[in-house]
């Protein structure tokens, strides 16, 4: 039987704000190396058990970043499946199972979140091999991480009778308090619930149909009515959005009689908080983990991440300090779970710092806000070689473009012109226009917007090579 990795790349990662945002969540960020979490997840699949190309499941707004990150590491996925809405893991895995069953009726699926750290790749592949043997016989295997501490931020799995090198699942346990967590570690029969699974696609769908028929039916319809959108498989929006939202654990694993837990001592972390990230990063002699332009004097047991400027700390300890261009987080390392409350405050205050950074990525490149005031806004725009913005117009703003480097092909009404370094052009309000990079080097330009309304929703697209609405 062939094993097909299914990588779940949804979620917003709000506990890692201000670095992780809705438009650029933690799985698409380089947190523990120079590669993103998604890239690390894909690359660790090589070098052990023979696995097929991965199937990626992600949200619509992340599709181009996912495709580009896979291209950067030279990986061609089996497919990139797009969810129209977040419905938790049970529907996402059901859709992937439907897709794989149609491709290979005997398919085994290895379900992996895109945002975990696993430091022992050899042990990881050994666990996959053990789980695959059980799954081939009809088991639904989950990977139970051997606990290294009484962690209260994880759910636990209590093992039952032995099944070869694994165990029947006796029960799942919700996140415990400190005393219970310590008792679980002392007991030796409990594992951290990793959220990683291996089972036959057909067996998962059969169990799901029995326990959560509405989810199974919605996923089946969503895949039957799915359609190609460029290089993506877009699930039917109405069918998938109609699915109840539930996790694999609640929908199937806690209810099935076929669940087994495979012990996994693989150097695992779900990097679910800033303190968890600190634990997996290299430390200096004083216990500090840093990234970026950081100055420390008399500092210990602290995580500091500087994204856009120097960050200096003097005479403190046990802190988490994260700086981005538009937000700074300072927290005691034992209080980082409360970061979610900051994100909720931003949402209820109708702010945007939880949604995106000052640099916003698009399929053609990116733009970054430089300055904003009454009736004006200044952006730095980068268009990748061959990149092409949509043919569009604005009802409320005019734009001035100044080329810093590279070559720009500018459509303005019926006129098409080429601009090079230090040349500029003006786009009046209401004029159809398009910006392209016909060159082999990135195009960098400064855009000055002026008008009564400067929101990103003041865009009317007439034509778009990326098929955005």
Which CATH number does the domain housing residue 132 bear? Answer: 3.90.550.10
Residue 217 pLDDT exceeds 80: yes
User: Which residues lie closer than 8 Å to 61 by C-beta, 6 or more apart?
Assistant: 23
Verify cis geometry, omega within 30 degrees of 0, for the bond prior to 18: yes
**pLDDT for the residue 208:** 98
Report the DSSP pairing between strands 190-200 and 232-234.
unpaired
How much of the chain exceeds pLDDT 70, in percent?
100
> Do both 133 and 254 map to the same domain?
yes
> Do both 205 and 314 map to the same domain?
no
> Three-state SS for 352?
coil
As a whole number of angstroms, the distance between CA 212 and CA 129 comes to 29
Which CATH number does the domain housing residue 443 bear? Answer: 2.60.120.10
Domain boundary among 269, 286, 307: 269
> Do both 198 and 296 map to the same domain?
no
Distances (CA, A) of 40 to 29, 123, 437, 466: 10, 16, 31, 27
Domain boundary among 318, 343, 368: 343
> Do both 327 and 207 map to the same domain?
no
* Banded pLDDT at 165 (limits 50, 70, 90): confident
Domain around 231? 3-269
Condensed to tens digits (0 to 9), the pLDDT of residues 379-428 reads 999 999 999 999 999 999 999 999 999 999 999 999 999 999 999 999 99
Mean pLDDT, the chain, integer: 96
As a whole number of angstroms, the distance between CA 304 and CA 278 comes to 9
Output phi, psi for 160, to 5 deg: -110, -135
**pLDDT for the residue 468:** 79
Residue 467 pLDDT exceeds 90: no
Residue 469 pLDDT exceeds 80: no
Condensed to tens digits (0 to 9), the pLDDT of residues 9-38 reads 988 778 999 999 999 999 999 999 999 999
> Do both 456 and 405 map to the same domain?
yes
Task: Give the pair of three-digit tokens for residue 291.
Answer: 């990234």
Residue 107 domain flag: yes
- What CA dihedral angle connects 381, 385, 388 and 394, to 10 degrees? 10
The stretch 212-218 carries a mean pLDDT of 98
Residue 469 domain flag: no
C-beta of residue 1 within 8 angstroms of C-beta of residue 108: yes
The stretch 355-367 carries a mean pLDDT of 93
> Three-state SS for 38?
helix
Q: How many domains does the chain have?
A: 3
**pLDDT for the residue 12:** 76
As a whole number of angstroms, the distance between CA 396 and CA 458 comes to 7
As a whole number of angstroms, the distance between CA 51 and CA 388 comes to 36
Instruction: Tell me the sheet residues that pair with 454.
Output: none
> Do both 279 and 257 map to the same domain?
no
Q: Which residue has the tokens 């030796």?
A: 188
C-beta of residue 150 within 8 angstroms of C-beta of residue 167: no
Q: Which helix (H) or strand (E) holds 176?
A: none
> Do both 327 and 422 map to the same domain?
no
Report the DSSP pairing between strands 268-269 and 117-118.
antiparallel
> Do both 264 and 288 map to the same domain?
no
Domain boundary among 221, 249, 269: 269
Residue 397 domain flag: yes
Condensed to tens digits (0 to 9), the pLDDT of residues 63-112 reads 999 999 999 999 999 999 999 999 999 999 999 999 999 999 999 999 99
Residue 349 domain flag: no
341: how many CB neighbours lie within 10 A of its CB? 10
Condensed to tens digits (0 to 9), the pLDDT of residues 106-120 reads 999 999 999 999 999
Residue 468 domain flag: no
Query: Residue 268: which of 12, 28, 44, 109 has the closest Cα?
Result: 44
Condensed to tens digits (0 to 9), the pLDDT of residues 189-203 reads 999 999 999 999 999
> Do both 87 and 165 map to the same domain?
yes
* Banded pLDDT at 338 (limits 50, 70, 90): very high
Residue 248 domain flag: yes
> Do both 387 and 368 map to the same domain?
yes
As a whole number of angstroms, the distance between CA 45 and CA 124 comes to 9
Query: Residue 258: which of 421, 395, 140 has the closest Cα?
Result: 140
**pLDDT for the residue 26:** 95
**pLDDT for the residue 441:** 97
Residue 69 domain flag: yes
* Banded pLDDT at 47 (limits 50, 70, 90): confident
Angle (CA) 289 290 291, round 5°? 140
> Do both 339 and 363 map to the same domain?
no
The stretch 145-150 carries a mean pLDDT of 94
> Do both 226 and 192 map to the same domain?
yes
> Three-state SS for 249?
helix
* Banded pLDDT at 363 (limits 50, 70, 90): very high
Residue 110 domain flag: yes
C-beta of residue 199 within 8 angstroms of C-beta of residue 140: yes
As a whole number of angstroms, the distance between CA 206 and CA 300 comes to 53
User: Which residues lie closer than 8 Å to 350 by C-beta, 6 or more apart?
Assistant: none
**pLDDT for the residue 345:** 97
């Amino acid at each position: 039987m062939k094993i097909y990795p299914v990588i779940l790349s949804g979620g917003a990662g709000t506990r890692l704000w201000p670095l992780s945002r809705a438009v650029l969540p933690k799985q698409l960020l380089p947190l523990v190396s120079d590669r993103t979490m998604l890239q690390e997840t894909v690359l660790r699949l090589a070098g052990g058990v023979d696995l097929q190309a991965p199937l990626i499941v992600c949200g619509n707004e992340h599709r181009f970043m996912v495709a580009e990150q896979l291209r950067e590491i030279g990986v061609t996925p089996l497919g990139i499946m797009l969810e129209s809405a977040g419905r938790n893991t049970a529907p996402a895995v059901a859709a992937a199972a439907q897709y794989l069953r149609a491709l290979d009726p005997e398919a085994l699926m290895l379900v992996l979140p895109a945002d975990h750290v696993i430091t022992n790749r050899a042990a990881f592949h050994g666990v996959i091999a053990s789980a695959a043997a059980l799954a081939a016989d009809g088991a639904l295997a989950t990977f139970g991480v051997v606990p290294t501490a009484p962690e209260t931020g994880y759910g636990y799995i209590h093992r039952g009778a032995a099944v070869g090198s694994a165990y029947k699942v006796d029960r799942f346990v919700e996140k415990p308090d400190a005393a219970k967590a310590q008792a679980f570690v002392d007991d030796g029969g409990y594992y951290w619930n990793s959220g990683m699974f291996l089972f036959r696609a057909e067996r998962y769908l059969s169990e799901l149909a029995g326990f959560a028929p509405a989810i199974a039916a919605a996923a089946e319809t969503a895949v039957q009515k799915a359609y190609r959108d460029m290089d993506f498989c877009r699930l039917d929006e109405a069918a998938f959005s109609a699915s109840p939202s539930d996790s694999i654990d609640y929908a199937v694993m806690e209810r099935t009689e076929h669940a087994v837990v495979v012990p996994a001592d693989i150097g695992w972390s779900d990097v679910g908080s800033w303190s968890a990230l600190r634990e997996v990063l290299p430390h200096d002699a004083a216990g500090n983990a840093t990234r970026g332009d950081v100055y420390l004097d008399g500092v210990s047991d602290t995580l500091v991440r500087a994204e856009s400027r120097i960050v200096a700390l003097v005479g403190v300890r046990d802190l988490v300090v994260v700086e981005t261009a538009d937000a700074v987080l300072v927290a005691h390392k034992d209080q980082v779970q409360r970061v979610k409350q900051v994100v909720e405050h931003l949402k209820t205050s109708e702010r945007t710092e939880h949604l995106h950074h000052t640099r916003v990525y698009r399929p053609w490149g990116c733009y970054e806000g430089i300055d904003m005031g009454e009736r004006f806004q200044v952006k730095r725009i980068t268009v990748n070689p061959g990149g092409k913005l949509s043919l569009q117009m604005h009802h409320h703003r005019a734009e001035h473009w100044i080329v810093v480097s590279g070559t720009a092909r500018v459509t303005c009404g019926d006129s098409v012109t080429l601009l090079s370094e230090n040349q500029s052009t003006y786009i009046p309000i209401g004029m159809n226009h398009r910006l392209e990079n016909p060159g082999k080097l990135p195009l960098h330009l400064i855009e000055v917007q002026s008008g009564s309304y400067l929101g990103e929703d003041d865009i009317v697209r007439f034509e778009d090579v990326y098929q955005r609405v």
